[in-house]
């Protein structure tokens, strides 16, 4: 797979030597890292997250079976319709390995793993959940937006104890017709039944992000990166 260089954002007034935390934010199917650039810029207000670096990677282009083989940015292939009955395990694990490498790159730049948040929307949120729960070193938190837990049957066998207590922000629109609210709630319940702590939020929106949600995301990031 070919990966483009991720977009990186910091507050323009920040001394880069003082960066002490990173948020790796994954976009949804068919989008790219620029999709959440406006949200990241909003969160980088000087009085909010002044010493944080946002990493916005771009998914590689691949043929997506569900979309008649159309080539688009995707973190893994999707078969059939939602709810998901068959999953692209190889593709999910390939994206997991790539995100692991991005985490390691931040660690190599001096950021402690427990100061790194994995975030994602829709398909990107699925990869954020999958990767963070299996990561062998403590992370700061997970933002799982309008998404679900992939390969959930393997969670208990593959989850790493390092992130057993990781804070999880999970949010969904009650009018979402791409990934249903009910499907996301099933994932929430699976996580909670496996002992994970999930902060659950619902918003009057479709498959998107709203202003109220961004305010709650800011509060969550301040909490886990304080």
Condensed to tens digits (0 to 9), the pLDDT of residues 188-210 reads 999 999 999 999 999 999 999 99
Query: Do the strands 141-145 and 116-121 form a parallel or antiparallel pair, or are they unpaired?
Result: parallel
State the catalytic residue, choosing from 22, 95, 113, 122: 122
3-state secondary structure of 10: coil
Q: Which of the four CATH numbers 1.10.1060.10, 3.30.230.70, 3.40.50.1220, 3.40.50.1820 does domain 7-224 have?
A: 3.40.50.1820
- Inter-axis angle of helices 89-108 and 123-134, nearest 10: 70
How does DSSP classify residue 87?
A: B
Domain chopping of the chain, boundaries: 7-224
- CA 181, 35, 50 angle in degrees (round to 5)? 100
Annotation says 27 is catalytic: no
State the catalytic residue, choosing from 32, 58, 176, 184: 176
Annotation says 108 is catalytic: no
Annotation says 197 is catalytic: no
Condensed to tens digits (0 to 9), the pLDDT of residues 19-46 reads 999 999 999 999 999 999 999 999 998 7
- Only one residue has tokens 């998107």, namely 208
Which residues are CB-neighbours of 214 under 8 A, at least 6 positions away? 39, 42, 43
Q: What sign for the dihedral angle of Cα 125, 129, 135, 138?
A: positive
Condensed to tens digits (0 to 9), the pLDDT of residues 93-145 reads 999 999 999 999 999 999 999 999 999 999 999 999 999 999 999 999 999 99
**Which residues pair with residue 173 across a beta bridge?**
203
């Amino acid at each position: 797979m070919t990966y483009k260089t991720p977009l990186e954002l910091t507050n323009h007034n920040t001394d880069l030597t003082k960066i002490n935390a990173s948020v790796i934010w994954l976009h949804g199917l068919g989008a790219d890292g620029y999709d959440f650039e406006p949200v990241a810029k909003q969160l980088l207000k000087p009085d909010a997250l002044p010493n944080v670096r946002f990493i916005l990677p771009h998914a590689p282009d691949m043929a997506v079976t569900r979309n008649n083989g159309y080539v688009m940015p995707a973190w893994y292939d999707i078969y059939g319709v939602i709810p998901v009955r068959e999953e692209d395990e190889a593709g999910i694990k390939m994206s997991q390995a790539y995100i692991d490498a991005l985490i390691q790159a931040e660690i190599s730049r001096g950021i402690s793993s427990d100061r790194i948040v994995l975030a994602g929307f829709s398909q990107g949120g699925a990869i954020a959940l999958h990767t963070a729960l299996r990561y062998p070193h403590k992370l700061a938190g997970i933002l799982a937006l309008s998404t679900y837990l992939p390969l959930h049957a393997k969670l208990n066998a593959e989850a790493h104890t390092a992130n057993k207590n990781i804070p999880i922000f999970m949010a969904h629109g009650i009018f979402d017709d791409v990934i249903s609210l009910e499907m996301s709630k099933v994932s929430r319940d699976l996580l909670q039944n496996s002992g994970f702590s999930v902060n659950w939020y619902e918003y009057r929106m479709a498959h998107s992000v709203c202003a109220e949600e961004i305010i709650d995301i800011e509060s969550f990031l301040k909490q886990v990166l304080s």
